[in-house]
Amino acid sequence: MTDDDAHAAILSGLQARLGALADAHGVELRETSDGVGHFGFDIVLALRPTAPGATPISVFPESASTTWIEFGLEVVDEVFTSPRDVPRSVADVVKVVTAVAAGRARQRLWYSPTKGEPTGSQAWVQLQEGGKWVPFQSWGRVPFRPLRRRFRAEDVQYSAYS
């Protein structure tokens, strides 16, 4: 299987699995194309929840080797996929999306004393119910431990889709 074939198979698998997830939670799955995604990807799959406190999730299948997932406030992280094992690649991406849709995602926003907007963020996802919280992605200025008392932190626990 070529990389292009694997990429098409991963995309097809994600469309089917995320469509089923959207139906199970009663949310909308939007598919956009022609480079309108966050990074200009050809195809973006986006779950848009209606539950209060739930976060939208966008999935950007970049290639047979990489898929990006975005949720919360600018949390964007890469899930490595394999053109040699398409079913596992799809399952790895869906595992993260399912965890976020189930309300097992949280984010800590850091604010400096002088700015009203977040200066940094950390995010975690609990891939299995009752399991370990896995660091997912951080961005911006996350203060070092000795300096944290100078900054204000706001914790956001995202709600389940249903």
- pLDDT category of residue 129 using cuts at 50, 70 and 90: very high
Per-residue DSSP letters for 63-95?
Answer: SSSEEEEEETTTEEEEEE--TT-HHHHHHHHHH
For residue range 108-125, what is the model confidence (pLDDT) as tens digits? Answer: 998 988 888 899 999 999
- pLDDT category of residue 143 using cuts at 50, 70 and 90: confident
Question: Amino acid letter at 104?
Answer: R
Average pLDDT over residues 43-70: 93
What is the reported pLDDT for 38? 47
What is the reported pLDDT for 145? 73
